[in-house]
Amino acid sequence: MHLVKIACERPDKHGRSLSQWDSPELARQLVAEGLTDAISPSTVWRILNAHQLKPWRHHMWLSPDAPRDEVFYTRVQDLIALYTRPLAAHEVVLCVDEKTSLQPRPRKTPTKPAQPGFIPNRVEHEYRRAGAWQLFAAFDTRTGRVYGRTYERKRQVEFIDFLTHLEAEAPATVTTIHLVLDNVSTHHGRLVREWLTHHPRFQMHFTPVHCSWMNQVEQWFGILQRKRFRLVDFLSKEDLRSKIGLFIGEWNTHAHPFNWSTKSVAKVMADCPYRIAA
């Protein structure tokens, strides 16, 4: 029982500078506290396994600072309705966000491609820093088309420039452009609010706090990260900008929307007191 008790406590409580326990460290701790003369890590593991304990694992969770109340779930419902209801001919829904600090990281020697014999791509360990881009992107929820521009910085002036780009891209027949965004000040600062008063086509819809998963452009950023930035090796900053534009162009040739439904989101929210109607 002493082992189980220690395993259920933070190592700091026992004066140990560890992020979490593992079997060898727990074995050492039992001996250090005089609870046993000797014990092997494998014995520690068997005891913990019998008690269904794995103190070397961790999961992220969120303390309830942002209340999950009726207002929160009403906002979630409104966004899901925006994603799933039939749109009028004059409407589009664009999910907008920024992927920041995209670095080219040019390598000391070129990356070598995969070869027969199960030889993988080989990436030089050493690289040099060459600045970074901030990618502003918008994902059309009905077509999957992506609009993107890169900037040196992420401020209201860059965001306004990107909105101007989106307005120029939207056909004149589209009189309502719904934008889904997070609550960062770049998206609703004074300059942005003033700009919006002169551009009534835009309607802003902000996701609830800690709900980045509700912004569909985040799903597309995941695809971008997996397919283009898993190996970071660009010749220069301008090469990086060019390759981002090329990736967006290639995506748009076979663009597709993501499958969102009220039922799928209802499953995510099933344990809350304010249920989303299916």
Supply the DSSP string of 33-102, one letter for each residue: TTS-S---HHHHHHHHHHTT--TT-------TTS--SHHHHHHHHHHHHHHHSPPPTTEEEEEEEEEEEE
The neighbour count for residue 264, using CB atoms within 10 Å, is 12
User: Taking the CB of residue 137, how many other CB atoms lie within 10 A of it?
Assistant: 23
Residue-level pLDDT at 251: 97
Is 209 in contact with 183 (CB distance < 8 Å)?
yes
- Does the pTM surpass 0.85? The reply is no
Beta strands in 160-208 (DSSP E): 176-181, 202-206
What pLDDT is recorded for position 220? 97
- Cα dihedral across residues 11, 17, 21, 26: positive or negative: negative
Structure tokens at 43: 């014995």
pLDDT score for 278: 42
Query: How far apart, in whole angstroms, are the C-alpha atoms of residue 198 and residue 181?
Result: 19
Q: State the Cα–Cα distance between residues 148 and 159, nearest whole angstrom.
A: 11
Could you tell me the two tokens for 160? 């306004």
pLDDT value, residue 66: 62
Residue 57's closest CA among 20, 26, 110, 9? 20
The residues facing 139 across adjacent strands are 95, 146
CA–chain centroid gap for 159, Å, is: 19
pLDDT score at 276? 47
How confident is the model at residue 67, as a pLDDT? 65
Q: How far apart are CA 274 and CA 67, in angstroms?
A: 12
For the record, the structure tokens of 13 come out as 């409580």
CATH superfamily of 70-268: Ribonuclease H-like superfamily/Ribonuclease H (3.30.420.10)
Strands (E), the chain: 91-102, 133-140, 146-151, 176-181, 202-206
Q: How far apart are CA 191 and CA 53, in angstroms?
A: 53
Per-residue pLDDT at 277: 46
pLDDT confidence of residue 64:
63
Where does the chain hold its CATH 3.30.420.10 domain(s)?
70-268
Query: pLDDT 10s per residue in the chain (278 long)?
Result: 789 999 999 999 999 999 999 999 999 999 999 999 999 999 999 999 999 999 999 887 766 666 666 777 788 888 988 999 999 999 999 999 999 999 999 998 988 889 999 999 999 888 889 999 999 999 999 999 999 999 999 999 999 999 999 999 999 999 999 999 998 999 999 999 999 999 999 999 999 888 888 899 999 999 999 999 998 999 999 999 999 999 999 999 999 999 887 676 666 565 555 554 44
Cα–Cα distance between 29 and 3 in angstroms, integer?
9
Judge whether 216 and 180 are in contact, CB under 8 Å: yes
